[in-house]
Structures are given as structure tokens and as C-alpha cells.
Amino acid sequence: MNKISNTRKYFGTDGIRGSVDNGEISAEFVLKLGWAAGQVLAKQGNGPVLVGKDTRISGYMFESALEAGLSAAGVDVRLLGPMPTPGIAFLTKSTRAQAGIVISASHNLFHDNGIKFFSSDGTKLPDNVELEIEYYINQSMQPVASQHLGKARRITDAPRRYIEFCKSKIQSDLNFHKLRIIVDCANGATYHIAPKIFEELGAEVILHGTSPNGLNINNECGATSPNVLRKLVKESRADMGIAFDGDGDRLIIADHQGEILDGDDILYIIARSQIKKLNGGVVGTVMSNLGLENAINDLELDFFRAAVGDRYVMELLLKKNLILGGETSGHIINLDLTTTGDGIITALQVLETMLITGKNLSELTKSIKKFPQLIRNIKFDTNIDITQNKEIVNAVDEAQLILGNTGRIVLRPSGTESLIRVMVEGESQGQIENIADELVNKVNHVAMKLH
């Protein structure tokens, strides 16, 4: 019997990700990964595996490598081309595929890439399956006999299938014809889908970030560049702006005044409009603003905090038998509508709420009184979990005593980048800035000693 380790080497909180230029993720590795995944999936059935990607240039290389690896394991492949991550999850489930694979590094720039997996029901792979794939990555690659090699073909109507799926998730009698909307697709996977959805629903759409060239994904556009969205909304006198990240599973929104609404604001808008469906609670993360928690409680709903990462939000939703959760970054999961975070469907829910209530975004979010919050990122590229260092733990405890019950501190390694994130939240902007500076200095000091 195979001895499978319980320790992850390759998979992080959101699949496998790394730098293409530095060789952290390479064609050779992805070939082996495809074969390893095929070894595991071939035990579960004979269905095909879907492979989609975002628009970064290395996607061509990795698509071919995955196709070859899966074929070598005897697994048939269906190639989708550029598709949003949630679109791949939807198609995996609707076409009864064994699994879906996404080639994307989400909000990162083009020189990074990654691989994410969906199970047959459109959700992230269970931990035990990821660990078994890791086991096979470390084994010698042996293709099946020639007559058993997998075949590959393209699904050409994938975008249209997903467009109709998204449109079906709001009331069919709603007409967006009075709305002027900025749609920023980050030069990413939503570039050929999101504009069509909003246009077909009747909105006047002003586009940005819809001309991908393989190198410009997330570059001064999309959800990671809120100031661009703010400027576009003001210049165009739009009713709102929507900016997706590179793979389309999250978004940020700007109201008609150019004020940016993050995932906390978006989560509140949806929660408020669906109170009766929510089974008494909503899930956020340790990074969610205390103001959101208070506003959710004012709706007579419980607020639960998961670790950062959509897989942990999903775990807590299932554990608590809830349907709505999300992250401050704009990754919203509504299990009443989808199996994973979906930026387009989240945007449609917000628009639906606006039209039904007759309120603009600033009116819909006025009940949230956010606390000042600072997030500092510290470069840290070792595998040591410095957040458990005694000096740092003591510094965090002392700072928390100063903040008392009206503030929070979160110090954590990033799940997707070589960073330590320091979040400080409290009533006084000056106080949290001082505390954040002290904690950053402490982390840098300890890091130097460890090196």
C-alpha cells in the first residue's frame, strides 16, 4: 500500500503557485503534475478532465504540459481555453467531468503562474486527494500503453454556456438599461465574458482591461488597482464600477462617487438582501473588519471568522450549515448559487439588490461603520513560520493589550506569496500606525537574526 505523507510540499491554500522565471513552476513540473493527477483520477472513473486557463503567456506552455501529462496517464482531456476559474468549476460539474484544472496565478502579475483543481462537483479537491497527487509527483513517470493513452479535444462553446449560467442567477425580469457601468477585466480570464453578460442584460458598459496580450494581466488594472477603477468611474460619471482579478473569482466595486467597496462591503450588501435565506449566520475571515462583524450582528445574524483562504471559508460554511461567506479581498461564496467564489455572479447579485431596492451603493453600505485598518506586507522567503517566534508572539500580545477590545491584530504568512502580512485594526488611525510600525520592525529584527 502506498505510504502517503500528511505534509504538503507543493499545494498551498489555493493550489500550486510560483514564479515561471525562477523555475518555481516549470513545464517539466506541470507535465509530471498532470501525470500524477491522472494517476489519482484514473482510479475514480473514466470521465474526462477539463483544462482552462487565464490569459498569461505561460498558459500556452502549461496547457500543453498538462494535456501531455494527463494523456500519459490514460485520461481524456477537454480544453476550454481562457475561462474564469468559477466558469471552469461550473463546467466541470455541468459536463459531469472527473475534475477541472485551472492554469492561473489569480491576482499575480504575468511572470507567476499556478495550477488549481476542482472536483467533479465543482469544489476544491479534498486534502487527501491533493496529498495523493503529491505522492505521485515524487514517483517515476510511466505512461500507460499506447492504446490506452488519453485523447484531447476543445470545447468551443464554453464561454456561451457560462454566460447563460451567470445570467440565470438573477431575476429574469430585471433590466439594466438605466445603468452605466465600468467593467475592468484585469486583462484576464473574464475579458470576453463579463462585458457580454452586462451588455446582454441591457447596461451601458464602458470597458477597461479587456485587451490581454499575455503580459498585461493585472498590470495597472483589475481588482488589485482600485485607484484606476475610482478614476474611471468619476471620469465617466458611471453608476458604479466593477473590477475583477485575473481569473475572475473575486472583485472590488466602486460606487458612483468613486468610493471603493471591498469584500466586506459586498458581503454585507448580499447578506442584508438575503437575511431569510442565511440560516442565521455569515462567514468572514480573521481579516474581515470589525465594523462588518458589528453590522452583521445588527442584522441579528451570527458572524464567524475563518482563516484566510477561500477553502477555509468553505470549510466553515459547511461546518456551520451556512451558505454565504467571503473575504475582504472580494472573494465571495454563495452556496445558494454556485460551488465556489464567482466575481461575475457576485457583481450581478449586487446589481440585482440595487435595482430591487432602488438604492445606490453608498446607501446600501451606510450601516457599516468600519474601523481604521492597516495591512503591511513584509518580504519573507523562508519556510520558517516566524509568526510563532516567542519575541513576536510577546510583541503581538503587548500590542493587543494596548488596543483592548476595540482592536485586533493578525500576523500571518501569506498563502500565495513570500510575505508576512501584518494587520492592525482599531479606533485610532495614529495608534494603529504606531503599532503596525513597531510590529514590522520586530518581524524584520527577528528575521535578520534567523538568517
Q: How far apart are CA 54 and CA 103, in angstroms?
A: 6
Give the residue ranges of DSSP H helices in 274-427: 290-298, 310-320, 343-357, 361-364, 390-403
97, 50 in Cβ contact below 8 A?
yes
pLDDT at 419: 82
- Which is more confidently placed, 432 or 389? 432
Across the range 239-248, mean pLDDT stands at: 98
pLDDT at 2: 61
> What percent of the chain is modeled with pLDDT above 90?
83
> What percent of the chain is modeled with pLDDT above 70?
98
Q: How far apart are CA 355 and CA 81, in angstroms?
A: 34
Across the range 318-327, mean pLDDT stands at: 97
162-364 and 373-450 in the same fold: no
pTM recorded for the entire structure = 0.91
37, 67 in Cβ contact below 8 A?
no
Q: Is the pLDDT of residue 18 over 90?
A: yes
| Superfamily of the domain at 162-364 | Alpha-D-Glucose-1,6-Bisphosphate, subunit A, domain 3 (3.40.120.10)
Burial 83-117 (b: 16+ CB within 10 A, else e): bbbbbbbbbbbebebbbbbbbbbbbbebebbbbbb
> β-pairing, 251-254 with 260-261?
antiparallel
| pLDDT bracket for residue 443 (50, 70, 90) | confident
Q: What are phi and psi of 368, to 5 degrees?
A: -90, 120
CA angle centred on 87, ends 82 and 90, rounded to 5°: 140
| pLDDT bracket for residue 382 (50, 70, 90) | low
If you count them, how many residues does the chain have? 451
Across the range 12-37, mean pLDDT stands at: 94
Instruction: For 101-136, write each residue's pLDDT tens digit.
Output: 999 999 999 999 999 999 999 999 988 999 999 999
| pLDDT bracket for residue 451 (50, 70, 90) | low
Instruction: For 54-79, write each residue's pLDDT tens digit.
Output: 999 999 999 999 999 999 999 999 99
Q: How far apart are CA 194 and CA 206, in angstroms?
A: 12
Instruction: For 349-375, write each residue's pLDDT tens digit.
Output: 999 999 999 999 999 999 999 999 999
pLDDT at 45: 77
Q: Is the pLDDT of residue 161 over 60?
A: yes
Q: How far apart are CA 351 and CA 195, in angstroms?
A: 14
pLDDT at 378: 86
| pLDDT bracket for residue 383 (50, 70, 90) | low
Domain locations along the chain: 16-156, 162-364, 373-450
101, 131 in Cβ contact below 8 A?
no
Helix (H, G, I), strand (E, B) or coil at 82: strand
Q: What are phi and psi of 259, to 5 degrees?
A: -75, 135
Q: Is the pLDDT of residue 206 over 80?
A: yes
Quote the crossing angle between the two packed helices 263-273 and 290-298, to the nearest 10°: 10
| pLDDT bracket for residue 1 (50, 70, 90) | very low
Amino acid at 89: A
Across the range 83-93, mean pLDDT stands at: 98
CA 348, 352, 358, 363 dihedral sign is negative
Q: Grid coordinates standing for 398?
A: 503587548
58, 85 in Cβ contact below 8 A?
no
Share the mean pLDDT of the chain: 94
> Is the domain 373-450 a CATH 3.30.310.50 member?
yes
Contacts 24+ apart (CB under 8 A), 230-237: 230/254, 230/258, 230/259, 230/260, 231/258, 232/182, 232/184, 232/206, 232/208, 233/182, 233/257, 233/258, 234/258, 236/180, 236/182, 236/206, 237/180
Q: How far apart are CA 374 and CA 436, in angstroms?
A: 7
Across the range 202-208, mean pLDDT stands at: 98
pLDDT at 75: 97
pLDDT at 372: 92
Q: Which CATH class is domain 16-156?
A: alpha beta
Q: Is the pLDDT of residue 447 over 60?
A: yes
pLDDT at 379: 84
Q: Grid coordinates standing for 172?
A: 429574469
- The residues annotated as belonging to the active site are 106
> β-pairing, 77-82 with 152-154?
parallel
Q: How far apart are CA 433 and CA 278, in angstroms?
A: 36
